A and B are shown apart, each in its own frame.
Chain A
Amino acid sequence: QKEVEQNSGPLSVPEGAIASLNCTYSDRVSQSFFWYRQYSGKSPELIMSIYSNGDKEDGRFTAQLNKASQYVSLLIRDSQPSDSATYLCAVNGYSSASKIIFGSGTRLSIRP
């Protein structure tokens, strides 16, 4: 079982709609969760972090965490073509604080 799993996509969403990206993780004691965005040919950049159950909103982005289900998601409201990128889920395990494990990413395409 992969430590952090994501659907590779591509996920195609019409402009203005809500894009929903999902991630599951295997380490039950994971404490910190992150979403990174990576444009083609560029390096990842952090867009959201979440540490406790529930929702965290930042502009058009909402991260949702459910530790009981070992599930974290990212919602992008009013999707724009500039949101087209690969979104990486990352998890920081309690068992090794220095290990930040990434999923393989979901490629998101916003169609005009």
Chain B
Amino acid sequence: ETGVTQTPRHLVMGMTNKKSLKCEQHLGHNAMYWYKQSAKKPLELMFVYNFKEQTENNSVPSRFSPECPNSSHLFLHLHTLQPEDSALYLCASSQDLGTGELFFGEGSRLTVL
């Protein structure tokens, strides 16, 4: 596989469920990002990891819990979400932190009932 892959592509969950989103990059990049994309709103940066260390938490509620076991894998653990958390969650990577040249996965479309 090449590029950035995200699973699952679609997820429906209740407010009391626990689920996880997975991202894997095959580009040898050092930085990975989680973005949230809601309708008619800009991409919102959630978390940034550089060499598997978190460098940015953009005031994200604790019901979202990221995990980065190594530079190639990034997870977003979801717990007791709200309906307004329904959105497209995009994972991205870049060669180095903050280069701005991001490579995005296809996203995970989350619906919270």
Chain A residues with CB under 8 Å of chain B are 2, 4, 8, 32-34, 36, 42-46, 49, 88, 90, 92, 96-105
Q: Does B61 contact A (CB under 8 A)?
A: no
**A99 to B45, Cβ gap below 8 A?**
yes
Q: How far is the CB of B71 from chain A (nearest CB, A)?
A: 15
Residues on A with beta carbons closer than 8 Å to the beta carbon of B101: 34, 46, 49
A104 touches B105 (CB 8 A): no
Q: Is B34 positioned at the interface, with any CB of A under 8 Å from its CB?
A: no
Contact of A104 (CB < 8 Å), options: B41, B56, B58: B41
Known: A96-B56, A99-B98; 14 extra A-B contacts, CB below 8 A, are: A32-B99, A42-B106, A43-B90, A43-B104, A43-B106, A44-B102, A45-B104, A49-B100, A98-B31, A98-B50, A99-B58, A100-B98, A101-B45, A102-B43
Interface residues of B in 50-105 (CB under 8 A from A): 50, 55-56, 58, 90, 97-105
Query: With contacts A4-B42, A43-B90, A88-B43 known, is A100 near B100, CB below 8 A?
Result: yes
- Asked if A98 meets B105 with Cβ closer than 8 Å, knowing A88-B43, A92-B98, the reply is no
Interface size on B, residues (CB 8 A): 25
How near does chain A come to B56, taking the closest CB pair, in angstroms?
Answer: 5
Q: How far is the CA of A32 from the CA of B102 in the complex (A)?
A: 13
Residues of A within 8 A of B56 (CB): 96, 98-99
Contact A97 B98 (CB under 8 A): yes
Which of B42, B101, B106 gathers most chain A CB within 10 Å?
A: B42
Kindly list chain B residues whose C-beta atoms are within 8 Å of the C-beta of A42: 106
Establish whether residues A92 and B42, one from each chain, have CB atoms under 8 Å apart when the complex forms. Answer: no
A46: which B residues are within 8 A, CB to CB? Answer: 101-103
Which 3 A-B residue pairings sit nearest by Cβ, starting from the closest?
A: A97-B98, A43-B104, A102-B43
Q: How far is A72 from B101 in the complex, measured between Cα atoms in Å? A: 16
Interface digits, B32-46 against A, CB 8 Å rule (1 contact, 0 not)? 010100001111010
Q: How far is the CA of A92 from the CA of B103 in the complex (A)?
A: 15
